[in-house]
Structure 1
Amino acid sequence: MATLIQSYEQQYSVLTADVTAKIGRLKVGNEENREQLSREIQANFEEANDLLEQLELEYRGAGAGSRVAAYRAELQRVKDEYRSVLSNSATYNIETEDTYDDWNVNEQRQKLLDNTERLERSGKNLNEGYRVILETEEIGAAVLQDLSVQRETIQRSRGRVSLLCIQYS
């Protein structure tokens, strides 16, 4: 599992380095190149968010400390840099609201994944609770069976003692 986490971290590092390089090229690129770079950067942001989601799930599964918060902060810094390049560019005409909406969708997707994971954990907890109830019921039935056998034994013993008392009286 650690190798999977390392693989995701390496992919994330390569991806953010690629985004940073593309942002640098975006600053000096021509109009056609800028549009292509912008689309690639946005696709890279989505891929980075997906990688962070996978990383977070792997960290939770491993029960290890997570660096995902630091990675998210770094990704947010890169996004802010990208927005800054877009807003400082008078020659590049992009609808920044669409860009923000795309990121808002990613935030909503993250919330949905978190809620789905929470729901799965709750379902597992319910299943575990139900399993414990069934085990408790089995144990209770076994105890009642043992008590019934012991009661019969005590009653037989009491009957024998009564017979012995009558015979010796």
Structure 2
Amino acid sequence: MSDVFEGYERQYCELSANLSRKCTAAGAVDGEQKKQKVSEIKSGIDEAESLIRKMDLEARSLQPNVKAVLLAKLREYKSDLNNLKSEVKRIVSGNLNATARDELLESGMADALTASADQRTRLMMSTERLGKSGDRIKDSRRTMLETEELGVSILQDLHSQRQSLLHAHNTLHGVDDNIGKSKRIMTAMSRRMSRNKLIIGSIVAVLVIAIILILYFKLAK
């Protein structure tokens, strides 16, 4: 539902009711008073036509489902305006005598005003139903926005968790590198210790052989 359309709609309904009252008053007077009231009515009808054009432009700029409902309402407003124009024509065309005017006021005008009142009642009921539909659309839109915000929040949480997992992966990769370096150092130390043991064993063997030789020569003398 368009807030702009609703604003024009309220203005039109108020103006239409005012014009209807003026038509009734104009039909009951003569002379300059009648001319003045007819002039005011024609000015009001021009304003009503301007409001209908604005509503038509606004309705055609909306989504198709809303557009169809508003254009249907607009056709009723146009029909209501045509009734007002017909009333004005009957008043203006008027060189009617008092009896004819009384009959017109008592019969035709009364019927026209009754039909116009019934039509306005239907229009107001349609406006109320359309307003409720607009509220439901607004609620649906609000729910969609809340769902979208929730989806964005979930995506942000997932992105944060992904960053944490990448950081943990990088940390583990660094630990693996350090373990690999430590393993290579331990292997190098083990090899060095093995060489040192071999050297020490060789030295000990040489010393033992030397001692044995010394003891042998001393005992031989």
Which is greater in Rg? Answer: 2
